[in-house]
A and B are shown apart, each in its own frame.
Chain A
Amino acid sequence: MDLSEPIHDFLLVFLGSGLILGGLGVVLLPNPIYSAFSLGLVLVCTSLFYILSNSYFVAAAQLLIYVGAINVLIIFAVMFMNGSEYYKDFHLWTVGDGITSMVCISLFISLITTISDTSWYGIIWTTRSNQIIEQDFISNSQQIGIHLSTDFFLPFELISIILLVALIGAIAVARQ
């Protein structure tokens, strides 16, 4: 989006804090309903980030699929659980928690080191030189379509077969 520098920065900080708060809420809130709704907040903030960086189609797809379908399904599932069961066997610290926190902290540290080590400008310039000719003629969503039907054709087809298998499996389970 063509915004002036301070407004852009303000929106960036605002969305970023929303994302971090939402992510912390997903992990830390004891009531699973609140966790599901804050997951929705995280997904909305991510799609607003896409809008801020001019990729509208990805933003719309993110909203439609992740918030409109997946998050609503998660809320559906969580709402049918009985909330009070969760408070009874709620231990503050178990072995599983320790292992999970170790894995998460090591992942976080490795991500931080790779992000600071990578030279992002080099990557941007090498990819931009390839794309600069394409970008002049066609819009963003058309580029996605072209790449899906040429470079990423095999993964695309494989994913659609997996979805078809899941659909048939769900119908088979539901008919019994």
Chain B
Amino acid sequence: MIIDTTEIETINSFSKLESLKEVYGIIWMLFPILTLVLGITIGVLVIVWLEREISAGIQQRIGPEYAGPLGILQALADGTKLLLKENLIPSTGDTRLFSIGPSIAVISIFLSYSVIPFGDHLVLADLSIGVFFWIAISSIAPVGLLMSGYGSNNKYSFLGGLRAAAQSISYEIPLALCVLSISLRVIRLSNSLSTVDIVEAQSKYGFWGWNLWRQPIGFIVFLISSLAECERLPFDLPEAEEELVAGYQTEYSGIKFGLFYIASYLNLLVSSLFVTVLYLGGWNLSIPYIFVPELFGINKRGKVFGTLIGIFITLAKTYLFLFIPIATRWTLPRLRMDQLLNLGWKFLLPISLGNLLLTTSSQLLSL
């Protein structure tokens, strides 16, 4: 009898260990996700600060200077203010749709960060469809915008939501065609569309191996349509303040408005990260004949250092690229709605189709 009970106890303790292991596994799964979310949030704060400083420079103002050294903490102060503000809900609007809308918009953009490689094979989910996951996920965001536009029971919000949905649907097609013409080469080299393989395919010849030189037309089309997807200034019709007060965000205040604000900057960050991955060689050092892994050896410390260098290079390229969208904001005037749709359907779509045709024929010839 005594032996039996001890046996049962050992079995019980063993199963407890197993369940503990599972719990640890789940926590271990959550750890990289939380790290990524924290990193992205800091990245967004940096973009907000950069935008304020660069706009101030372009307009010959001083910009933020009191919150922290050089005004670094300005974005944090703005966020705190939005958190503490009163949360207004329109009385005749649809409360449920009004509250769900912003969270759908933010979540769908946060999900697309999971396929971005920040360093050498440092990616949250190395899916075989890679970039297409981003395109598929980012097509959910207009549902959230439509929801908030309808839920606030306001003509301006409604029109803004409809404009946002029409714009993002029509500019998604050239974007997908550009990504397709890049991934044709990657499919031939390594049989998958994963973002890691796209970066690896550009790793030879350093700076000259970038997809930017292979796909110059695709790069320009991608740049324009990603600006339109982010609703940045030449294309910010959904929130045009002269026509619609603030578009779909008119009725929002407090942290829900903050969510839309964060979502627009998250979208800007993710699209410039994808420009880095797709066209600018990702985490590679990009100086010909110097390879980072060979510099730091194969031991563990060298590997960690190499990864850190990779993250630094990716972020440096991304933030250097971000100067273009921020400077565009203060350079170009806003388009009209018909000009926007003409540009999308009559100019970008045929050009990106032609680019795809060119790429396909060159792939066939080189086979």
Judging by beta carbons under 8 Å apart, are A63 and B97 in contact? no
Q: How far is the CA of A7 from the CA of B129 in the complex (A)?
A: 23
B156 to chain A, nearest CB (A): 15
Judging by beta carbons under 8 Å apart, are B128 and A69 in contact? no
Q: How far is the CA of A6 from the CA of B158 in the complex (A)?
A: 44
B305-359 residues at the A interface, CB under 8 angstroms = none
> Which residues of chain B are within 8 angstroms of A68 by Cβ–Cβ distance?
136, 139-140, 142, 169, 172
A-contact 0/1 string along B169-212, CB 8 Å cutoff: 10010001000000000010001110000000000000000000
Judging by beta carbons under 8 Å apart, are B133 and A40 in contact? no
> Which residues of chain A are within 8 angstroms of B133 by Cβ–Cβ distance?
56, 60
B160 to chain A, nearest CB (A): 13
Judging by beta carbons under 8 Å apart, are A63 and B143 in contact? no
Contact A60-B132, Cβ < 8 Å, known A4-B22, A72-B143: yes
Q: How far is the CA of A7 from the CA of B23 in the complex (A)?
A: 11
Interface residues on chain B, size class: 20 to 34
Judging by beta carbons under 8 Å apart, are A72 and B142 in contact? yes
Judging by beta carbons under 8 Å apart, are A75 and B146 in contact? yes
B-contact 0/1 string along A138-175, CB 8 Å cutoff: 11111000000000000000000000000000000000
> Which residues of chain B are within 8 angstroms of A72 by Cβ–Cβ distance?
139, 142-143, 146, 165, 169
* From A57, A64, A139, contact of B139 by CB (8 A): A64
> Which residues of chain A are within 8 angstroms of B129 by Cβ–Cβ distance?
56-57, 60, 141
B146 to chain A, nearest CB (A): 5
- A52 within 8 A of partner (CB): no
- B25 within 8 A of partner (CB): yes
Q: How far is the CA of A22 from the CA of B193 in the complex (A)?
A: 32
Contact A79-B146, Cβ < 8 Å, known A60-B136, A64-B136: yes
Q: How far is the CA of A145 from the CA of B139 in the complex (A)?
A: 23
Contact A69-B146, Cβ < 8 Å, known A7-B26, A63-B137, A141-B128: no
Tell me the dominant secondary structure on chain B's binding face.
helix
> Which residues of chain A are within 8 angstroms of B147 by Cβ–Cβ distance?
37
- A14 within 8 A of partner (CB): no
* From A7, A79, A139, contact of B158 by CB (8 A): A79
> Which residues of chain B are within 8 angstroms of A37 by Cβ–Cβ distance?
97, 143, 147
B311 to chain A, nearest CB (A): 26
A1-54 residues at the B interface, CB under 8 angstroms = 4, 6-7, 33, 37, 40, 44, 47
A100 to chain B, nearest CB (A): 28
A-contact 0/1 string along B1-44, CB 8 Å cutoff: 00000000000000000000010011000000000000000000
> Which residues of chain B are within 8 angstroms of A67 by Cβ–Cβ distance?
139-140, 143
A52 to chain B, nearest CB (A): 13
- A76 within 8 A of partner (CB): yes
Q: How far is the CA of A104 from the CA of B294 in the complex (A)?
A: 66
A147 to chain B, nearest CB (A): 16
Judging by beta carbons under 8 Å apart, are A76 and B150 in contact? no
A8 to chain B, nearest CB (A): 12
> Which residues of chain B are within 8 angstroms of A139 by Cβ–Cβ distance?
128, 191-192
Residue of chain A at shortest CB distance from B125: A1
> Which residues of chain A are within 8 angstroms of B150 by Cβ–Cβ distance?
33, 79
B237-283 residues at the A interface, CB under 8 angstroms = none
- B162 within 8 A of partner (CB): yes
> Which residues of chain A are within 8 angstroms of B142 by Cβ–Cβ distance?
68, 72
> Which residues of chain A are within 8 angstroms of B162 by Cβ–Cβ distance?
76, 79
Contact A40-B143, Cβ < 8 Å, known A33-B150, A141-B129: yes
Judging by beta carbons under 8 Å apart, are B191 and A142 in contact? yes
> Which residues of chain A are within 8 angstroms of B54 by Cβ–Cβ distance?
none
Using a CB–CB distance below 8 Å, which chain A residues touch chain B? Answer: 4, 6-7, 33, 37, 40, 44, 47, 56-57, 59-61, 63-64, 67-69, 71-72, 75-76, 79, 138-142
Using a CB–CB distance below 8 Å, which chain B residues touch chain A? Answer: 22, 25-26, 94, 97, 127-129, 132-133, 135-137, 139-140, 142-143, 146-147, 150, 158, 162, 165, 169, 172, 176, 187, 191-193
- 14 intermolecular pairs with C-beta atoms under 8 Å apart: A4-B22, A33-B94, A44-B140, A56-B127, A56-B133, A57-B128, A63-B139, A64-B136, A64-B176, A67-B143, A68-B140, A79-B146, A79-B162, A139-B128
Would you list the 8 A-B pairs with minimal beta carbon distance, nearest first? A68-B139, A63-B136, A60-B136, A64-B136, A56-B129, A60-B132, A60-B129, A75-B146
A59-B136, A139-B191 given; 9 more Cβ-contact pairs under 8 Å: A37-B147, A56-B127, A56-B133, A57-B128, A60-B133, A63-B136, A76-B162, A141-B129, A141-B193
